[in-house]
Amino acid sequence: MPYVVTQSCCSDASCVIACPVNCIHPAPGEPGFAEAEMLYVDAAACVDCGACTTACPVDAIKPHTKLTDAELPFVELNQLYFAEQPHADRTPLALIPSVRRPAREARVAIVGAGPAGLYAADELLKHAGVTVDVFDRLPTPYGLARAGVAPDHQHTKKVADLFAAIEGQPGFTYRLNVEVGADIGHDELAERYDGVIYAVGASADRALGIDGEDLVGSISATDVVGWYNGHPDHQDAPVDLGTERVVIVGNGNVALDVARILTADPETLVATDIASLPLATLRGSKVHEVVVLGRRGPAQAAFTMPELIGLAGLSDVDVVVDTGGEPIVADSAKTRLLAELAGRTPTPGRRRIVLRFCTAPVRILGTDHVEGIEVTRTRLVEIDGRLEAQACGEPEVVPAGMVLRSVGYRGTEVPGLPFDDVTGTVPNTAGRVRPGTYVAGWIKRGPNGFIGTNKSCSEETVSSLLDDLDAGALTAQGTRADLDAWIAAAVPDVVDRTGWQAIDADERRRGAAIGRRRVKLLEVDEMVRVARAARVGGTAHGRRRLFSRV
Ligand SMILES: Cc1cc2nc3c(=O)[nH]c(=O)nc-3n(C[C@H](O)[C@H](O)[C@H](O)COP(=O)(O)OP(=O)(O)OC[C@H]3O[C@@H](n4cnc5c(N)ncnc54)[C@H](O)[C@@H]3O)c2cc1C
Ligand SMILES: NC(=O)c1ccc[n+]([C@@H]2O[C@H](COP(=O)([O-])OP(=O)(O)OC[C@H]3O[C@@H](n4cnc5c(N)ncnc54)[C@H](OP(=O)(O)O)[C@@H]3O)[C@@H](O)[C@H]2O)c1
Ligand code: SF4
Ligand code: SF4
């Protein structure tokens, strides 16, 4: 039975190297890899060895026989890829780039312990004589893999095991709870390290720029995501679920994540790592319907096919497709599934997610609180080769107590680095800002792609850094001991790997006590206290047990 790639695939291509017959595509370097929504197994070539499952960090590959009913559409999706892209000229084995030997030892600072930062660290540590110090402004690493990925996507969160293996390698040092640009400056880092890689992500949100956006009840999906995922910056997000209908503007994967969580049966989330207050809020929620507004048509929907299949397979929530009466031209996997969903009959009384297309927001309505949103129908016009939405028809009011904008994330300026205000990224060439300063991940290429997309992105950046090292363009001043002393003086509450492991263990222990995967610590001070306790001898829990025995 062939193996099949399923929903949680994050496109990191670890399976490609593991496969003995090179039947997983598109592989890095092949056309379409950078844009691929997932990778696919060629059933005709798969020899059923299972090697890919061991390599996959998120349990995305399964034998055909182990698929659930909801996952069966992935069989066709994998096959369809090869029907459209035969890859006839592939080599018998995947091409593995050789590891180069740098001209000399090097010390690299990585700012940001999200996927891009950790993939960059992993790539650097493959090279003899290279050490990395990974900084993050929070005492906890993993960026959006911890604070973005939806709690009902626990398979995806398993990527944390891969990150834990990366951080356990010799030459890796964590310097968490250090905000570069606030606690320490770029010049101070640049002077002490051969290279500084910024992998700071894109944490801000984009605004709609329409009237009513500042009303109470109009917030960003970024806020809601950070709130339910326990990000310390978003715990005060004013999420009021005392309304029957929520409208989400934008139909990317983030919008689908939020729509799923707001319509989920809270009891199905108990065993996850959702933060405690959101879980309690969801238990008291009145939300019955979430309307996801796409300004363009079904064929242009920003959500990906794996996520749509996941949505279509929900057993306790109806998915309704509303095109305003326009027929769906079912000429792709995505439009065929949307057409099938459009034909389903909703079950009265069940919570529902409405995927509404060709509808653009005009203004958010209400006096002191959101009461609805005025929308207009759109038609598509081609502008510079892209189909854009243009308003047409009469405005219509959709009553709603909360309006969430989910129209993309946005990078913010990094002190000491150039910044492109239009794209919200740091201008770079193959990750190089200038010799000694580099970028990777969302701050490099914009807020798009999956966790694994950052792997090849970071590899490219590391390659640029090593080119500069070999060319003699990089220098670091001072010894390792000087560096340690400087950081300890500059940021007394720096959290190292032991500290992070103590936080991780503390959260898991709190969770295990009440049947949950983990109960996240929500305040930085609390995290630092737990980390500090580990530094001065054992975990707080271990000491409590010791004292109680005494
Ligand atoms: C809501 C959401 C859900 C997602 N779900 C999935 C999914 O299910 N599957 C999937 O494959 N992909 C998913 N993605 C995409 C994936 O999370 C991103 O591709 C990836 O996280 C980007 O990595 P990054 O390292 O560039 O940024 P981030 O993950 O944002 O990491 C940046 C890190 O830099 C730190 N930082 C920022 N500024 C500073 C500073 N000044 N000093 C020190 N540290 C700093 C931050 O604290 C953070 O830890 C999701 C994205 C979002 C937004
Ligand atoms: N499970 C997963 O794998 C997962 C989960 C979450 C996020 N991610 C990834 O993370 C990245 C970011 O996701 P995202 O959802 O934030 O962004 P996104 O995919 O870029 O989607 C943004 C959406 O906002 C719409 N939009 C933008 N400006 C608008 C405006 N002024 N008015 C109305 N609509 C507007 C876009 O419509 P147009 O298309 O018309 O511009 C699009 O529908 C994506 O690459 C995504 O795949 C992955
Ligand atoms: S089961 Fe073996 S042959 Fe099939 S895709 Fe996985 S690694 Fe390749
Ligand atoms: S997550 Fe990575 S290893 Fe797993 S199937 Fe996708 S590309 Fe392959």
Q: What are phi and psi of 378, to 5 degrees?
A: -130, 160
Q: Which residues does 14 contact at the CB level (< 8 Å), separation at least 6? A: 55, 56, 57, 452
Query: What does the pLDDT read at residue 103?
Result: 85
Distance in Å, CA 443 to ligand 1 centroid: 10
Is any ligand 1 atom within 6 A of the Cβ of residue 201?
Answer: yes
Mean residue pLDDT across the chain: 94
Rounded CA separation 438/60 (Å): 31
Is any ligand 4 atom within 6 A of the Cβ of residue 358?
Answer: no
- Our mutation pick for probing the ligand 3 site, out of 4, 16, 49, 81, counting the most ligand atoms within 8 A of Cβ, is 49
Digit-coded pLDDT (tens) for 117-170:
999 999 999 999 999 999 999 999 999 999 999 999 999 999 999 999 999 999
Mean pLDDT, range 172-194, rounded to an integer: 97
Distance in Å, CA 452 to ligand 4 centroid: 8
Query: What does the pLDDT read at residue 1?
Result: 64
Is any ligand 1 atom within 6 A of the Cβ of residue 439?
Answer: no
Structure tokens at 75: 């069989």
Ligand nearest to the CA of 93: 3
Residue having the nearest C-alpha atom to atom 7 of ligand 3: 19
Is any ligand 2 atom within 6 A of the Cβ of residue 249?
Answer: yes
Digit-coded pLDDT (tens) for 346-369:
999 999 999 999 999 999 999 999
Digit-coded pLDDT (tens) for 67-105:
999 999 999 999 999 999 877 777 877 777 778 888 899
Distance in Å, CA 3 to ligand 3 centroid: 6
Burial of 522 (0-12, 13-18, 19+ CB in 10 A): middle
Query: What does the pLDDT read at residue 538?
Result: 52
Is any ligand 1 atom within 6 A of the Cβ of residue 226?
Answer: no
Residue having the nearest C-alpha atom to atom 29 of ligand 2: 407
Query: What does the pLDDT read at residue 83?
Result: 93
Mean pLDDT, range 220-238, rounded to an integer: 97
Is any ligand 4 atom within 6 A of the Cβ of residue 36?
Answer: no
Structure tokens at 301: 């929907």
Among 19-33, 243-257, 459-473, 526-540, the range scoring the smallest mean pLDDT is 526-540
SS3 of residue 442 by DSSP: helix
- Our mutation pick for probing the ligand 4 site, out of 14, 78, 157, counting the most ligand atoms within 8 A of Cβ, is 14
Distance in Å, CA 166 to ligand 1 centroid: 17
Query: What does the pLDDT read at residue 543?
Result: 45
